[in-house]
Amino acid sequence: MSPQIEILLVAIIVSIACALPGVFLILRRMALMSDAISHSVLLGIVVGFFIIGQVDSPILLIFAAGTGVATVSLVELLHRTQLVKEDAAIGIVFPALFSIGVILVTRYANNVHLDQDVVLLGEIALAPFDRVTILGLSLPRGLVVMTLILVTNLSCIVIFYKELKISTFDAGLATALGFSPVFIHYGLMSLVSITAVGAFHAVGAVLVVALMIVPPATAYLLTNRLSIMLAISSLVGTISAIMGYFVAAKMDASVAGSMASMTGICFLLTFLIAPKRGILAIIYRRFRQKWEFSQTLLLIHLVNHEGKENEAEECNVNRINQHLSWNQTFTQNVILYAEKKGSIQIEEQILRLTNRGREIADQAFAR
Amino acid sequence: MSMNQSSSAIEVTDLTVAYQEKPVLWDIDMNVPPGVLMAIVGPNGAGKTTLIKAILGLVRSASGQMLIYGKPYRQQRRIVSYVPQRGSVDWDFPTTVKDVVMMGRYGALGWLRRPGQQEKKLASEAMEKVGILNLADRQISQLSGGQQQRVFLARALTQDAQVYLMDEPFQGVDATTERAIVLLLQQFREEGKTVVVVHHDLQTVSDYFDWVTLLNVRRIASGPVNTIFNESNLRQTYGGRIGFLKTEQEMSNPQVLPEPTL
């Protein structure tokens, strides 16, 4: 494999590994927790490094996962005192842990791979230089680690799909039925922590959050099914990784930065043009509703005066705007709209209902 | 059946629940005989929801014992069905009506086993019964309040339980749905099942239910509607905020008056 392909592969695998648990963070309204975890795991890594003396031991993952879970527990503990709101609790706990980590890194562990820039921003371009040999194959360490994490995330989600779904949707019922939402909760937090650590080297603590949160947030706008949301999130992650890589190569900029920006662009595009929940779709729907409503109002006015002696006056094409207190142009447009929809006809300057028009008015009344 | 060795479907003794040392329920005793349709009635903050949650072990009790057919809930999960408040879940969750209804079977499936054909069939039958089969593939965010409540009922139906605990199933539903729910609950009773419903509308207590528990942090009274659902008990439950229509059915038509303005 050429180094370029290796970097690209690492980028894609990191993106998918992050997007999968991110789906559940979004649905559990815990997006901010990924921010907290991805920062505080630094402390776990540093402490683990002191104890083990190696920066690339898999045991570091366990330390980091422990710190992640500890972060979540501390936040919950603080929140449960009812003296601090949850968002404030998050804002208190993770900077505390993170800052201790930063001090330890700069004071004791500098120049041993745990460089502060790498910690914050990651350096995926370095991935091909750090290699391991597995079954006689020389592979980038990052690729191996992230593949293992991706497989772990995927299998946990597949195996506990039903449990994750019910405890996310209805924790009360899940408990009553004998499942343990607490177990699921901490299990998920452990996955998020491990993923954050794994992704650390590649994209750094700050951008992990983008990869975890933005693709699922994008997918949320596009589907009504949990399984499809997981699939779309992974796809958005993959697309962002590929585009991010090439943009970075072209601009000679940070790969991680480009990847994260691409997730943002994917989200922005989806936010604008998603078929049902996008902004444009919503504006179009409101616009149509306004015309539909005005048409219905006009039709009901016609129904009320149909066959009455004042029909010629009340339903006159040129004077109906005075009766409805509408402006002239708007009235003309509503009449055109209704004519196009086949709900009215104009006979000798008088607006008359068609059968279709009567149906629409009836439906409006029936509601 | 061994289940009927105990004379009560639900037996609560000396139950106290406190949040942060503030009592929500004080020393509650309650016996619900099998096969009754019971309302739990009381003002806001009376602990109605907490009582149900305590029976299900969803909130920690400071004291007391809660038994379902003589055994703790933990051993009776399969015969108890819980219908939480409609507002307690996120209706924007990316899932379908059919999927939510099928969750009722998750308890019987246990950990790891996945719902299959059998569960789909049971879910379809339940949806048919509450009249939402045509909504099976609908995303749940597109449902009206009444339809959401029917989804919860269908989910409870798939559990095929002996004891049903329902938290405000009539809240915010249309008249047709309310009627449909009442018929379903009465059918449960005819099948010998026990149904406990947190209820808000005093007007309909006598029409819908045959058993009632009046609650306001303490248990005021618990028993058959025709003996304990009377003015003096209601006055104790609601304090001064209760008025009565002085008609021939005065006892069956109490009304809660709005809070006095300060």
3-state secondary structure of B224: strand
| Cα angle B109-B115-B119, degrees, rounded to a multiple of 5 | 90
Give chain B positions within 8 Å (CB) of A172.
Answer: 53, 58, 82, 84, 88
Task: Note whether B106 contacts A176, CB cutoff 8 Å.
Answer: no
pLDDT, tens only, A230-243: 999 999 999 999 99
Give chain B positions within 8 Å (CB) of A228.
Answer: 94
A169 to chain B, any CB pair closer than 8 A? The answer is yes
Show Cβ contacts of residue A363 under 8 Å, excluding neighbours closer than 6 positions.
none
pLDDT, tens only, A102-138: 888 888 766 555 666 666 667 787 788 888 888 888 8
Taking Cα atoms as reference points, which of B93, B177, B88 lies closest to residue B142?
A: B93
Taking Cα atoms as reference points, which of A309, A335, A311 lies closest to residue A321?
A: A335
> What's the rounded Cα separation, in Å, for the pair A255 and A12?
12
pLDDT, tens only, A22-46: 999 999 999 999 989 988 888 888 8
Mean pLDDT of the B185-209 span: 92
CB contact at 8 A, A11 and A245: yes
Min CA distance, B93 vs chain A (Å)? Answer: 7
Give chain A positions within 8 Å (CB) of B156.
Answer: none
DSSP type of residue B96 = B
Output the pLDDT for position B1: 42
Task: Note whether A170 contacts B84, CB cutoff 8 Å.
Answer: yes
Pairing of strands B37-41, B211-216: parallel
Measured between CB atoms, which of B53, B77, B100 is closest to A177?
Answer: B77
3-state secondary structure of A39: helix
Task: Note whether A169 contacts B93, CB cutoff 8 Å.
Answer: yes
Residues 269-288 in A contacting B (C-alpha not used; CB under 8 Å)? none
Mean of all residue pLDDT scores within chain A: 88
> What's the rounded Cα separation, in Å, for the pair A180 and B63?
23
Mean pLDDT of the B195-213 span: 92
> What's the rounded Cα separation, in Å, for the pair A344 and A152?
63
pLDDT, tens only, B71-109: 999 899 999 999 999 989 999 999 999 999 999 999 889
Encoded tokens for B168:
């405000």
Show Cβ contacts of residue A327 under 8 Å, excluding neighbours closer than 6 positions.
A321
More confident residue, A94 or B248: A94
Output the pLDDT for position A367: 61
Transcribe A156-185 into DSSP letters.
Answer: HHHHTHHHHHHHHH-HHHHHHTT--HHHHH
Output the pLDDT for position B249: 45
Give chain A positions within 8 Å (CB) of B58.
Answer: 172, 175-176
More confident residue, A359 or A242: A242
Split at pLDDT 50, 70, 90, the class of A327 is confident
> What's the rounded Cα separation, in Å, for the pair A341 and A289?
14
Q: Which residue ranges form the domains of chain A, and what is each CATH number?
A: 3-211 (1.10.3470.10), 286-366 (1.10.10.10)
Q: How far is CA A150 from CA A30, A37, A157, B40, in A?
A: 21, 18, 11, 49
Min CA distance, B124 vs chain A (Å)? Answer: 19
Output the pLDDT for position B262: 44
Percent of chain A with pLDDT over 90: 42
For chain A, counts of helices (H) and of strands (E): 16, 4
> What's the rounded Cα separation, in Å, for the pair A132 and A162?
37
Split at pLDDT 50, 70, 90, the class of A56 is low
Place of tokens 């949850």: A86
3-state secondary structure of A134: strand
Give chain A positions within 8 Å (CB) of B95.
Answer: 165, 169, 224-226
Taking Cα atoms as reference points, which of A159, A197, A158, A230 lies closest to residue A14?
A: A197
A178 to chain B, any CB pair closer than 8 A? The answer is yes
Taking the CB of residue A2, how many other CB atoms lie within 10 A of it? 8
Task: Note whether A161 contacts B114, CB cutoff 8 Å.
Answer: yes
Taking Cα atoms as reference points, which of B135, B149, B164 lies closest to residue B87?
A: B149
CB contact at 8 A, B138 and B96: yes
3-state helix, strand, coil in chain B (%, to 5): 40, 25, 35
Q: Which residues of A328-344 are buried (b: 16+ CB within 10 A; e: fewer)?
A: eeebeebbebbeebebb
Min CA distance, A178 vs chain B (Å)? Answer: 7
Measured between CB atoms, which of B89, B103, B107 is closest to A178?
Answer: B107
Give chain A positions within 8 Å (CB) of B19.
Answer: none
B53 to chain A, any CB pair closer than 8 A? The answer is yes
Residues 138-197 in B contacting A (C-alpha not used; CB under 8 Å)? 139, 141, 155
> What's the rounded Cα separation, in Å, for the pair A237 and A13?
9
> What's the rounded Cα separation, in Å, for the pair A108 and A111?
9
Encoded tokens for A63:
């330390």
> What's the rounded Cα separation, in Å, for the pair B194 and B211?
11
Encoded tokens for A184:
């699921």
Asked if residue B150 has pLDDT above 90, the reply is yes
Mean pLDDT of the A300-309 span: 85
Output the pLDDT for position A3: 85
> What's the rounded Cα separation, in Å, for the pair B177 and B164?
18
Asked if residue B180 has pLDDT above 70, the reply is yes
Amino acid at B85: Q
CB contact at 8 A, A19 and A234: yes
Enumerate the β-bridge partners of residue B222: B213
Show Cβ contacts of residue A75 under 8 Å, excluding neighbours closer than 6 positions.
A33, A36, A86, A89, A90, A93, A94
Give chain A positions within 8 Å (CB) of B88.
Answer: 170, 172
Backbone angles phi, psi at B68, to 5 degrees: -115, 120
Mutate to test the interface with B, among A167, A168, A177, A221 (most CBs of B within 10 A): A177
DSSP type of residue B114 = P
Q: Which residue does chain A place closest to B166, by CA atoms?
A: A173
> What's the rounded Cα separation, in Å, for the pair A121 and A137?
29
Measured between CB atoms, which of B58, B99, B109 is closest to A172?
Answer: B58
B115 to chain A, any CB pair closer than 8 A? The answer is yes
pLDDT, tens only, A191-233: 999 998 888 777 877 788 999 999 999 999 999 899 999 999 9
Output the pLDDT for position B97: 95
Backbone angles phi, psi at B44, to 5 degrees: -60, 140
> What's the rounded Cα separation, in Å, for the pair B119 and A42?
45
Lowest mean pLDDT among A163-172, A245-254, B4-13: B4-13
Q: Which residue does chain B place closest to A175, by CA atoms?
A: B58
| Cα angle A245-A250-A256, degrees, rounded to a multiple of 5 | 35
Transcribe B181-202 into DSSP letters.
Answer: HHHHHHHHHHTT-EEEEE---G
> What's the per-residue H, E or C state across A204-262?
HHHHHHHHHHHHHHHHHCCCCCHHHHHHHHHHHHHHHHHHHHHHHHHHCCCHHHHHHHH
B6 to chain A, any CB pair closer than 8 A? The answer is no
> What's the rounded Cα separation, in Å, for the pair B51 and B40?
9
Taking Cα atoms as reference points, which of B82, B189, B190, B98 lies closest to residue B137?
A: B98
Measured between CB atoms, which of A166, A169, A175 is closest to B58?
Answer: A175
CB contact at 8 A, B70 and B11: yes
Taking Cα atoms as reference points, which of A222, A195, A194, A224 lies closest to residue A211?
A: A195
Taking Cα atoms as reference points, which of A17, A77, A50, A19 lies closest to residue A210?
A: A19
Mutate to test the interface with A, among B49, B60, B82, B159 (most CBs of A within 10 A): B82
Q: Which residue does chain B place closest to A221, by CA atoms?
A: B94
Taking the CB of residue A208, how many other CB atoms lie within 10 A of it? 30
Report the predicted TM-score, pTM, of the whole model to 2 decimal places: 0.85
